[in-house]
Amino acid sequence: MVQINRERLLGDLTTLRSFGATGTGVVRPSLSDIDMQARAWLRDRMSDAGLRATIDGAANVVGLSPNDGPALVVGSHSDTQPTGGWLDGALGVIYGIEVARTLLENPDTAHLAIDAVAWCDEEATYTSCLGAKAFCGVLTDDDYSATNAEGESVAQALERVGVKGTEHERLDTTRHVGYLEAHIEQGPHLEQNGQRIGVVTSIVGLGGLRFEFVGEQNHAGTTPMAMRKDAGVALFEFATRARKRISAVASPSTVWTFGDAELHPGAESIIPGRASLLLQFRDPNSDVLDLIDAEMRSLVSEMTTEGPVDVVIDEVRERIAPTIMDAEFQQHLDAAAERHSSGAWVRMPSAAGHDPMVLAHHLPCAMLFIPSIGGISHDFAEDTSHDDIALGCQVLADAAVSILEAQRG
């Protein structure tokens, strides 16, 4: 079996952390100067690993194995949230490089092909999963015109960083047989249950609904209670009933959030004439998402019938379906996890979005999680023990070998 190099892995993660380091965290939004400096360094590390590395037309860093296929694409994103942690994305990128070089330097596995990748803009500084979309050839005009907070478009940013006109590395279905990504869990489940490896079964789907409450604005002193059409009261009543309705149909994996609520005009002495409430819900199972949606629609018609305030429901976004991970790849990850962490691994859904939400439409995907200390992520305090970091890479390397050997027959 192959053996990853723990010190080399941790050393590269520490160097990548230095690009945009801010306290214990990292500020490296996609296509910023510091992000491009990190990408140039990643390209050089991929070259050092024996890969043919480039920064492509979407600012993806891609390192192609010198070996013929079947090849596995292994990596993650190297951009961060506006104020992010040092491991979100970075972990999977350095794993990709470490797995590639570990296999190439071992005579037993030197014939196997790993193409390492650092995707651009998974975190949606401009548009989510920009690099993965480019790799799959599904970038749209809307993606190119998407802007960051400063109003710069993707097209302008790619020109500014000097990759406009550079070719895009593309998924090659005659070569690429799948995609593997390791990531920190970004939640508390592994740590709380004493598990060290999570084999991801699916990435949860997501629905978003907006509820508008239409009542009648009036004087808060002179309007008798019986005459009121208070949109604010209706909103709070709706939210209370919604909590019970959702709980009744939720699975243990369901999470849901009222992320915003507004009363209009929002003044002490005015009965709100209108109000709005935003609901987001996530689950690995489409049926559960459908049930929650149906419960909300029935509650809306129930409350509108009861009066005195009308409730209107609207979709905030198109429903995102759950992304199912490849069944065979999961078995390879299970076996590698059991070999190195017997009894301390678990299959689990991902509650956060990742690049496979795009990639899995085009090639088989699998993901591996390692614990997040305290379940903290998207924060400077994000961290994972060095032992868990090393273990995750070893499991990923073993799984990559067994997947590729199985592909070669």
Nearer to Zn ion, 31 or 300 (CB): 31
Minimum separation from the CB atom of position 180 to Zn ion (A):
15
Minimum separation from the CB atom of position 299 to Zn ion (A):
34
Local structure of 5: helix, strand or coil: coil
- Partner residues linked to 62 by β-bridges: 54, 117
Residue 119: how many CA atoms within 13 Å on its side-chain side?
35
Closest CA to 24 of 397, 390, 273, 382: 382
User: 265: cis peptide before it, omega within 30°?
Assistant: yes
Nearer to Zn ion, 323 or 402 (CB): 323
Q: How far apart are CA 409 and CA 405, in angstroms?
A: 6
Q: Which stretch binds Zn ion (CB under 5 A): 28-36, 80-88, 284-292, 383-391?
A: 80-88
Nearer to Zn ion, 90 or 209 (CB): 90
Does 181 bind Zn ion (CB under 5 A)? Our answer is no
Q: How far apart are CA 218 and CA 98, in angstroms?
A: 66
Nearer to Zn ion, 123 or 326 (CB): 123
Minimum separation from the CB atom of position 67 to Zn ion (A):
28
DSSP for 28-95, please give it.
--TTSHHHHHHHHHHHHHHHHTT-EEEE-TTS-EEEE-SS-SSEEEEEEE----TTB-SSTTHHHHHH
Q: How far apart are CA 217 and CA 230, in angstroms?
A: 7
Minimum separation from the CB atom of position 352 to Zn ion (A):
7
Q: How far apart are CA 335 and CA 30, in angstroms?
A: 35
Nearer to Zn ion, 185 or 326 (CB): 185
Closest CA to 84 of 354, 371, 379, 372: 379
Nearer to Zn ion, 148 or 377 (CB): 377
Nearer to Zn ion, 89 or 273 (CB): 89
Nearer to Zn ion, 179 or 211 (CB): 179
Contacts of 287 (CB under 8 A, 6+ apart): none
| Element (DSSP H or E) covering residue 323 | strand 323-324
Segment 241 to 300, residues that bind Zn ion, using CB under 5 A: none
Contact between 180 and 399 under an 8 Å Cβ cutoff? The reply is yes
Segment 13 to 72, residues that bind Zn ion, using CB under 5 A: none
Contacts of 156 (CB under 8 A, 6+ apart): none
> What mask of x and - would describe binding to Zn ion in positions 157 to 176, judged by CB under 5 A?
--------------------
Nearer to Zn ion, 81 or 102 (CB): 81
Minimum separation from the CB atom of position 330 to Zn ion (A):
20
Nearer to Zn ion, 89 or 187 (CB): 89
- Dihedrals φ, ψ of 68, to 5°? -70, 165
Nearer to Zn ion, 88 or 191 (CB): 88
Number of residues forming the site for Zn ion (CB under 5 A): 2
Q: How far apart are CA 278 and CA 266, in angstroms?
A: 17
Minimum separation from the CB atom of position 221 to Zn ion (A):
52
Within 204-309, strands assigned E span: 205-214, 218-219, 255-264, 270-271, 274-283
Minimum separation from the CB atom of position 363 to Zn ion (A):
19
Minimum separation from the CB atom of position 354 to Zn ion (A):
6
Minimum separation from the CB atom of position 266 to Zn ion (A):
36
Minimum separation from the CB atom of position 92 to Zn ion (A):
8
Minimum separation from the CB atom of position 90 to Zn ion (A):
9
- Dihedrals φ, ψ of 205, to 5°? -85, 170
Segment 84 to 143, residues that bind Zn ion, using CB under 5 A: 88-89
**What is the binding site for Zn ion (CB under 5 A)?**
88-89
